[in-house]
């Protein structure tokens, strides 16, 4: 499977902690940038064939991007970056898409994710982690949780998609963006029944998959990873020190 790592985005508060970092992907955790850590994990995964990193063009030549096979320019919007990253790949092939802020991503987690993607056979596969799995490994890492009938979940930092689904995903995200601040529009977008079930914690993963597939116009599946590291990311300034501690702990376990 080929992989695309999204390392674009604005210079937020996290990025401002690191001199010269255009975005948080280039903030160092124990001497290695976040994107460098993601690329290292993917490069060490035997099932990964080719890796494309989407990042600011001025970062070409950065030592931590040496593990990528190709650097492509990021866009103003994430959909533009995704389009640049997917360009040229076969429309029907599964691509692994990874965020660039996963400080403790491991080979075992990536291998497991790829195996599950191949078994699911969908156009868009969204990774997530169940709360008890996360708390067992990373109890100090905060998350925004979604209570479902099947359990309580957070979104992961890796997903998979076939390039043929990108135009559909573009329209989906455009519609979601237009509705997200308007409860009535949001209810119309997803359906009042779905919104009510979710609010009551009665929405199942299967129901969410079915509605997402209908709205998108292509098969959508959720992938519940048993590896909590797929959901550990760096969103806030305080997450940097936490990531430093987690990396140190992982290093101590492996030594």
Q: What is the 3-state secondary structure (H, E, C) of the chain?
A: CEEEEECCCCCCCCHHHCCCCCCHHHCEECCEEHHHHHHHHHHCCCCCCCEEEEECHHHCCCHHHCCCCEEEECCCCHHHHHHHHHCCCCCCCCEEEEECCCCCCCHHHHHHHHHHHHHHCCCEEEEEEEHHHHHHHCCCCCCCCEEECCEEEEEEEEEEECHHHHHHHHHHHHHHHHHCCCHHHHHHHHCHHHHHHHHCCCCCHHHHHHHHHHHHCCCEEEEECCCHHHHCCCCCHHHHHHHHHHHHHHHHHHC
Whether residue 240 contacts residue 26, with contact meaning beta carbons closer than 8 Å, is answered with: no
Q: Looking at residues 63-71, what average pLDDT do you find?
A: 95
Look-up: residue for tokens 């309580």? 152
pLDDT value of position 188: 76
* 184: pLDDT strictly greater than 80: no
Above pLDDT 70, what percent of the chain? 95
CA distance 83 to 167: 9
Q: Which residues contact 42 (CB under 8 A, 6 or more apart)?
A: 3, 5, 48, 51, 67, 96, 98, 105, 110
pLDDT value of position 180: 59
Say which residue, 158 or 252, is predicted with more confidence.
158
- Residue 149 CB: number of other CB atoms within 10 A? 15
* 179: pLDDT strictly greater than 80: no
Q: pLDDT per residue over 198-231, tens digit each?
A: 889 999 999 999 999 999 999 999 999 999 999 9
Boundaries of every domain in the chain: 2-243
pLDDT value of position 183: 67
pLDDT value of position 236: 93
* 65: pLDDT strictly greater than 80: yes
Q: Looking at residues 113-128, what average pLDDT do you find?
A: 94
* 255: pLDDT strictly greater than 60: no
- Indicate the average pLDDT of the chain: 92
Q: pLDDT per residue over 234-249, tens digit each?
A: 999 999 999 999 999 8
CATH of domain 2-243: 3.90.550.10
* 174: pLDDT strictly greater than 90: no
* 148: pLDDT strictly greater than 90: yes
Q: Looking at residues 97-114, what average pLDDT do you find?
A: 97
pTM (predicted TM-score): 0.93
Say which residue, 10 or 172, is predicted with more confidence.
10
Q: Looking at residues 180-202, what average pLDDT do you find?
A: 81
Q: Looking at residues 49-56, what average pLDDT do you find?
A: 97
- Which residues pair with residue 53 across a beta bridge? 5, 71
Q: Looking at residues 16-40, what average pLDDT do you find?
A: 96
Say which residue, 186 or 193, is predicted with more confidence.
193
């Amino acid at each position: 499977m080929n992989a695309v790592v999204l390392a674009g985005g604005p210079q937020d508060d996290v990025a401002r902690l690191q001199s010269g970092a255009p975005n948080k992907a280039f903030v160092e955790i124990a001497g290695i940038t976040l994107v460098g850590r993601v690329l290292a994990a993917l490069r060490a995964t035997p099932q990964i064939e080719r890796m494309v990193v989407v990042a600011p063009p001025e970062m070409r030549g950065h030592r931590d991007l040496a593990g990528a096979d190709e650097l492509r320019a990021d866009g103003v919007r994430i959909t533009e970056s995704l389009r640049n990253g997917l360009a040229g790949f076969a429309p029907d092939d599964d691509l692994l898409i990874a965020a660039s802020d996963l400080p403790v991503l491991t080979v075992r987690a990536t291998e497991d994710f790829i195996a599950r993607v191949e078994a699911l056979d969908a156009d868009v596969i969204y990774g997530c982690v169940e709360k008890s799995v996360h708390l067992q490994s990373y109890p100090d890492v905060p998350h925004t949780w979604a209570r479902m009938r099947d359990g309580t979940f957070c979104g992961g930092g890796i997903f998979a998609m076939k390039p043929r689904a990108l135009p559909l995903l573009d329209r989906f995200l455009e519609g979601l963006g237009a509705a997200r601040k308007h409860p009535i529009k949001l209810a119309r977008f997803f359906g009042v029944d779905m919104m009510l079930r979710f609010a009551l914690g009665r929405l199942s993963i299967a129901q969410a998959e079915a509605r997402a597939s209908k709205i998108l116009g292509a098969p959508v599946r959720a992938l519940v990873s048993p590896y909590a590291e797929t959901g550990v990311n760096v969103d806030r300034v305080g997450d940097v020190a936490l990531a430093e501690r987690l990396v140190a702990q992982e290093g101590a376990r492996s030594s």
